[in-house]
A and B are shown apart, each in its own frame.
Chain A
């Protein structure tokens, strides 16, 4: 059913990507016409700043902006609109949580992450640990790149204050089963934060069902614009932590001496927000809703299974991450013996296959596997099995060239 979804993206139907197999979707996805048109229309017909002007244009802009918040709420099934905070991206959302929450912790308190985290869900915590004398611990992963469930109980104790982990690894493709970790975190009275930057583009996420304190994702990895991210925070949690950025919009009362804070969500939205980007994100999430999760999940399960089956047959190619399709998505990082990831990416580029090479913002994870870099092909709704074949063909050509 998604066979013609490429036509919905102008970069493929008319732009520079006409013949391109774009396999760098874990870095960023392309934008469908509906998102571009909605943003363009907003700037042309309804643009004004939000939450301030009393004239009609400003009120309409505010209505559109807040309608997008409601779309986001529904998308992740949050209880209230006020639990949706607009940020710049996942990285900013995670910094907000880490910086605001950690200042309430005591020296010796523990932050629990996993060995597969992206730098965005690692460095902010690491810095807070240094600043407030906290301890960061990492749930280990197996050689296959899955969380080692047997070790879970060793990592929770009375000092565990926050567990922050990815719902889908941007390198391994692993989709950790969150429930057992959330249950342990609850028993330890720890907060649970989910980095859903990858996950939200691949399967439905229900924050109430999961029962988590916060969740972060970006617009640009889910067919929306850059410069817009989301932080979901459960109401009690967001009320319990201090603001992150101070200044305009986020205040209630201000005197020359002091200020008080606006209620949620405004408390965490200082300054003029990226209004058109919020509206673009709303359009992107509606786009996903129209395609439908069952169709998307089936398409991606097919790509995952096919990708694994053909890549594992390529001589001298090693997939970093699970070799079986259960609880993993269509992100494949790999190495090819005797071929540097840069060279592989360059040769693939010459045959119009766009992949990523490098450490994919997960240096510690690469070091753990004894690597400095890998090549990554990541798939989404508009990708096809034929593109996987082109990838494999390109890899074989590269091997021939350098042999």
Chain B
């Protein structure tokens, strides 16, 4: 049951940075119509640095744990650095390699975060 190792279940059950950020400078949302998973990221940037972050969403364990792990990872980082994040980054963060169909669940949060940071692609 690799996909559901302890760190992932922990982030799912106790999500970090979960909630709303009233004075956010950027917001981004991504959803997967096929399963109804959705993640919404809100960020606050100061001098191109992520100084505050919050997310909300609904969906499977992978999609929600990935959002929590990602939020925890990027806080304090430069926007430019996060813009380089890709599939590999998410796999490293999760410490698992989901199959191609499940990888989409994990990538949802990166998509939403990039939208919030106004990074295209």
Residues of A within 8 A of B (CB): 340-343, 346-347, 350, 357-359, 372-373, 401-402
Known A-B contacts A347-B4, A350-B3, A401-B4; A342 and B62 likewise in contact (beta carbons under 8 Å): yes
Residue B120 is within 8 A (CB to CB) of chain A in the complex: no
CA gap between A346 and B36 in the complex, in Å: 17
Taking CB as reference atom, which chain A residue is nearest B38? Answer: A372
- Minimum C-beta distance from A226 to chain B (A): 19
Main secondary structure of the interface of B (DSSP, over half): helix
Taking CB as reference atom, which chain A residue is nearest B98? Answer: A346
- Minimum C-beta distance from B6 to chain A (A): 11
Residue B35 is within 8 A (CB to CB) of chain A in the complex: yes
Query: Which residues of chain B have C-beta atoms less than 8 A from A402's C-beta?
Result: 9, 12, 61
Question: Apart from A340-B61, A342-B59, A343-B61, what 12 extra A-B contacts exist at CB < 8 Å?
Answer: A342-B62, A342-B63, A343-B62, A346-B62, A347-B1, A347-B3, A350-B3, A372-B35, A372-B36, A373-B34, A373-B36, A402-B61
Query: Which residues of chain B have C-beta atoms less than 8 A from A343's C-beta?
Result: 4, 60-62
- Minimum C-beta distance from A176 to chain B (A): 27
Known A-B contacts A357-B35, A359-B34; A340 and B59 likewise in contact (beta carbons under 8 Å): yes
Query: Which residues of chain B have C-beta atoms less than 8 A from A372's C-beta?
Result: 35-36
Interface residues on B, range: 10 to 19
Residues of B within 8 A of A (CB): 1-4, 9, 12, 34-37, 59-63, 102, 105
CA gap between A402 and B1 in the complex, in Å: 12
CA gap between A50 and B93 in the complex, in Å: 56
Query: Which residues of chain B have C-beta atoms less than 8 A from A347's C-beta?
Result: 1, 3-4
Query: Which residues of chain A have C-beta atoms less than 8 A from B63's C-beta?
Result: 342
CA gap between A341 and B60 in the complex, in Å: 7
CA gap between A346 and B104 in the complex, in Å: 14
Q: Check if A350 sits within 8 Å of B9, measured CB to CB.
A: no
19 contacts between A and B (CB under 8 A): A340-B35, A340-B37, A340-B59, A340-B61, A342-B61, A343-B60, A343-B61, A346-B3, A346-B4, A347-B1, A347-B4, A350-B1, A358-B35, A359-B34, A372-B35, A372-B36, A401-B9, A402-B9, A402-B12
- Minimum C-beta distance from A256 to chain B (A): 48
Q: Check if A401 sits within 8 Å of B1, measured CB to CB.
A: yes
- Minimum C-beta distance from B80 to chain A (A): 33
Find A342's partner among B1, B2, B9, B35 (CB 8 Å cutoff). B35
Q: Sorted from nearest, which 9 A-B pairs have the closest CB atoms?
A: A372-B36, A340-B60, A342-B60, A373-B35, A350-B1, A343-B61, A343-B60, A346-B3, A358-B34
Query: Which residues of chain A have C-beta atoms less than 8 A from B61's C-beta?
Result: 340, 342-343, 402
Query: Which residues of chain B have C-beta atoms less than 8 A from A342's C-beta?
Result: 35, 37, 59-63, 102, 105
Taking CB as reference atom, which chain B residue is nearest A346? Answer: B3
CA gap between A358 and B102 in the complex, in Å: 12
CA gap between A350 and B3 in the complex, in Å: 9
Taking CB as reference atom, which chain B residue is nearest A342? Answer: B60
Query: Which residues of chain A have C-beta atoms less than 8 A from B37's C-beta?
Result: 340, 342
- Minimum C-beta distance from A311 to chain B (A): 21
- Minimum C-beta distance from A373 to chain B (A): 5
CA gap between A320 and B3 in the complex, in Å: 27
Taking CB as reference atom, which chain A residue is nearest B31? Answer: A372
